[in-house]
A = this chain, B = another copy of it.
Amino acid sequence: MTEPLASDSHFEDDTAVRLVDGVWKADLKPGWNVGDNPNGGYLLAIAVRAMLEESSRPDPLSVTAHYLSPPSAGEVEIRAGVFKPGKTIVNVMAEIWQDGRERVRVLGAMGDLSRRRGPSRVSARPPDIPPPDECVSLLDLTHQAGRAVPEIMNRFDLRLPEDSPWGRPGEGDPFEITGWIRFRDGTDPSSLSAVAFADAFPPTLLGAIEAAGWVPTIELTVHVRSRPAAGWLLGTFRTRVLVDGLMEEDGELWDSDGRPVALSRQLATVLTR
């Protein structure tokens, strides 16, 4: 049942886009599903790949996806085009279509992180957790709990501290999940895959609110700020404001050199079971 890989990277293969008669096409692979639908970060990465092609720029600086209707595994069409050319920043839009319905719309500002010049000053600090070897695998935890393992959990290796407060925050604490993440097949992270990593952790409030069955994303914005070094990424995602079933999820991704790779924020709806 397992398809042979064209490269040695599932991410590389499964986000591939091809130009057919002026329109980008891609095949959504079920390996990135959560339940019956492809993960939002995976969809965003496919759109961004077509957008980078259109812009002739190597890095997504800021991308915003509006999720309209979940697609299924299978072929999609990506209608992508530059709407504002520029020397340093190229603005691109992409629409993912399947079965005659638009599924995701993305606005992006593309650029080249290696050519940016200007002041730097980082006051944020990466979260302080034990190294990956001393953390526990979310996949193992899920197996042990006898819970269904979403397909996507086989793509990512996600490790949480043993004393992780995820799923059981104290009163007044934010809903929060912090851990190490990398592709399970050893593919190193990139500015492109950063947009997928920004949506690869389970929802911050899973388990913490009885009613939280499914937390569909309305909108996700990712700012990629550095090309990541090889190795693990350290991610932390936090929800501080849940009002009438609407919540933000604020994310940070740090690379193995301790540099900030991406900031993300999504607006999501908490659906009750």
Q: Is A145 an interface residue (CB 8 A)?
A: no
Q: Is A68 an interface residue (CB 8 A)?
A: yes
Closest CB of chain B to A204's CB: distance in Å?
Answer: 11
Contacting residues, chain B, for A69 (C-beta < 8 A): 84
B265 touches A263 (CB 8 A): yes
| Residues of A contacting B: mostly | strand
Q: Is A49 an interface residue (CB 8 A)?
A: no
A66 touches B272 (CB 8 A): no
Q: Is A37 an interface residue (CB 8 A)?
A: no
Alpha-carbon distance A218/B107, docked complex (angstroms):
12
Closest CB of chain B to A64's CB: distance in Å?
Answer: 4
Q: B-facing mask of A33-55, CB < 8 A → 1, else 0?
A: 00000000000000000000000
Contacting residues, chain B, for A269 (C-beta < 8 A): 118
Alpha-carbon distance A119/B213, docked complex (angstroms):
12
Q: Is A211 an interface residue (CB 8 A)?
A: yes
Q: B-facing mask of A226-257, CB < 8 A → 1, else 0?
A: 10000000000000111111101000000000
A244 touches B102 (CB 8 A): no
Q: Is A116 an interface residue (CB 8 A)?
A: yes
Q: B-facing mask of A168-196, CB < 8 A → 1, else 0?
A: 01001111000000000000000000000
Instruction: Tell me how many chains of this kind the complex includes.
Output: 2
Task: Tell me which residues from 68 to 108 in chain A have a Cβ below 8 Å from any Cβ of chain B.
Answer: 68-69, 83-84, 89, 91, 93, 102, 105, 107
From the candidates B61, B84, B120, name the one contacting A267 in the complex (CB within 8 A): B61
Closest CB of chain B to A168's CB: distance in Å?
Answer: 14
Alpha-carbon distance A91/B67, docked complex (angstroms):
9
Which residue of chain B has the shortest Cβ distance to A122 in the bound complex? Answer: B241
A240 touches B64 (CB 8 A): no
Q: Is A260 an interface residue (CB 8 A)?
A: yes
B102 touches A105 (CB 8 A): no
Evaluate whether A118 and B272 lie within 8 angstroms (CB atoms) in the complex, with A64-B107, A174-B123, A267-B61 already known.
Answer: yes
Evaluate whether A122 and B242 lie within 8 angstroms (CB atoms) in the complex, with A66-B91, A248-B223 already known.
Answer: yes
Contacting residues, chain B, for A64 (C-beta < 8 A): 64, 107, 219, 221
Contacting residues, chain B, for A241 (C-beta < 8 A): 122-124, 225, 260, 263
Task: Tell me which residues from 107 to 132 in chain A have a Cβ below 8 Å from any Cβ of chain B.
Answer: 107, 109, 113, 116-124
A66 touches B221 (CB 8 A): no
Known: A66-B107, A223-B267. 4 other contacts (CB 8 A): A61-B246, A83-B105, A122-B240, A221-B221
